Structure 1
Amino acid sequence: MESSYTLGRIHSIETMGTVDGPGIRFVVFTQGCPMRCLFCHNPDTWKTGAGAGTLMSVEQIVDEFESNRAFYRNGGITVSGGEPLLQPEFLADLFGAMHARPAGRVHTCLDTCGYAFDPDRPELTARVLDETDLVLLDIKHADPAGHRALTGRDPGRILAFGDELARRGIKTVIRHVVVPGYTDTVEECEALGRLIAPWRNVVGLEMLPYHTMGVAKYEQLGIAYPLAGVEPMDKARVPELREAVLRGMREARRR
């Protein structure tokens, strides 16, 4: 079909992903991101436009997936980034092609920060969401000022995207990176729970401990690392903070 030749700007592909949705995943990382999270460990995905990433067609990606289809029988395809929603036509065509495979429908998962969603023009992403089985939605900070300090962007579009997912009933897993000194307090996590409580489509919560594995990329690119001196998150605290999020959700839903 004609849409199978839609081109996307791709950063890289991981053929055996185990943390990007259920089962073993074929993970496509797109090029380009509008956010500048202080804890980002992939600054090489930021650049957009001509010369950024590798141009690949939907057909090329489908063929690569199919060459190892047996590995993904309990998983599927995940598109991450960068920010996939910067390329909605490509993403919609790719997910649509995966759903229409002659050998059987492939589960599709979108890993996104949601910032590229335009609440004034929801039609731009409508076709993507029509073909999306699961969303991994990154909520960076529960407080608007904290969100701007941590990412350089206002959270309004992200929350509007969350509302749209809830309206559509698309299964969504909330992801929250726990950064010492930024998002590691019980109060912030409880506030996150209250924020996402209205979204009845939320089926999971992942608290991701901050790490410093991306520092080497900043050095290679000649970029100053924004969180220099911040130690990796103590993983032992994660269960406590996860429970704080769930407590905030429960309390908000009882009101």
Structure 2
Amino acid sequence: MQVSTTPLPHPTAVRGYIHSFESCGTVDGPGIRFVIFTAGCPLRCLYCANPDSRYMKNGKVMSVDELIPEIQKYTTYMRTSGGGVTVSGGEPLYQPHFVAEIFRRCKALGIHTALDTSGHCELHLAKAVLEYTDLVLLDIKSFDRALFEKVTSVNLEPTLEMARYLDEIGKPTWIRFVLVPGLTDAADNVCGLADFVATLNNVEKVEVLPFHKMGEYKWEQLGYDYQLQQVEPPTRSQIEVVLDIFHSRGINAV
């Protein structure tokens, strides 16, 4: 990957709401990545690690012009590791115009782009972002519709519509599934998701992400009702059971 450090000649005044940055991320796409966490999200996931990113008003307003120089500080790391920029959240597609402009500028500089999303948005709004997206990390919280709504407080269908569209346009995609013991680990739920993913030709792999409690203290600080206090992270054997279900469908799951 060739990365230019020359600023684009035409600056933009597009602004958005940022929760935080991670300058050398290694878990949100390939290589070393500059990760931008946007503020604002329509989901209310029971295990959210960033509940403080629910509302845009709690984020910091930044322009794309301000972001690009920050990103360019790490181009050497991105170039040598095969990394790039990932926009996560919150929900990035809550601010599609902002994210599209970030990615447009990154692509003009030769920087790989990855979108970490729940897919919960109106599809026509996402298309402008996807035009400049190299890789989508699509979080599918559950395949059972009632369970999905319990976990997220929103409807599953927009996420499935997004997954089908990504397949239709051949967009490289990693599916992400958070394994929560006693909540998302039911065999019929996992099998349903595996059967669905098996119909998609663009999915490079499925990441089974173990539930963790790293964001629990934020819920307490914000006065939110954290309902998973008694839930422990999955054991290795529990993870292996889920991986085996995906593997049995010929899916690359890790």
TM-score of the alignment, normalized to the shorter chain, above 0.5? yes
2:151 and 2:102 map into 1 onto residues whose CA distance is 32
1:19 to 13, 27, 33: 27
SS in 1 for 2:192: helix
Matched residue, 2:146: 145
CA contact (8 A) 2:93 2:117 kept: yes
CA contact (8 A) 1:147 1:154 kept: yes
Matched residue, 1:162: 163
SS in 2 for 1:72: helix
Deviation of 1:249 after TM superposition, in Å, equals 6.0
- Structure 2 residue 67 is the aligned partner of structure 1 residue 61: yes
Matched residue, 2:47: 39
Q: Which amino acid aligns with 2:229?
A: A
CA contact (8 A) 2:34 2:74 kept: no
Matched residue, 1:109: 114
CA RMSD of aligned residues (A): 1.5
Matched residue, 1:85: 93
Query: Within 5 A, what are the aligned runs for 1:193-204?
Result: 193-204=194-205
Matched residue, 2:107: 99
Query: Within 5 A, what are the aligned runs for 1:185-224?
Result: 185-224=186-225
Query: Within 5 A, what are the aligned runs for 1:120-135?
Result: 122=124, 124-135=125-136
1:132 and 1:68 map into 2 onto residues whose CA distance is 19
Matched residue, 2:244: 243
Matched residue, 2:182: 181
Deviation of 1:4 after TM superposition, in Å, equals 2.5
Q: Which amino acid aligns with 1:213?
A: M
* Per-residue Cα deviation, 1:115-153 (whole angstroms, up to 9, x for no partner): 12x14xx2x222211100000000001111111111111
Structure 1: runs of 5 or more not aligned: 251-255
User: How many pairs does the alignment contain?
Assistant: 241
1:41 and 1:216 map into 2 onto residues whose CA distance is 9
CA contact (8 A) 2:178 2:208 kept: yes
SS in 2 for 1:4: coil
1:235 and 1:28 map into 2 onto residues whose CA distance is 30
Structure 2: runs of 5 or more not aligned: 1-8
Identity %: 43
- Structure 2 residue 176 is the aligned partner of structure 1 residue 171: no
CA contact (8 A) 1:25 1:76 kept: yes
CA contact (8 A) 2:18 2:60 kept: yes
2:106 and 2:205 map into 1 onto residues whose CA distance is 24
1:197 and 1:52 map into 2 onto residues whose CA distance is 39
Q: Which amino acid aligns with 2:89?
A: G
Deviation of 1:187 after TM superposition, in Å, equals 2.8
Q: Compare 200-209 and 59-68 and name the one that shifted more.
A: 59-68
Matched residue, 1:253: none
1:70 and 1:22 map into 2 onto residues whose CA distance is 15
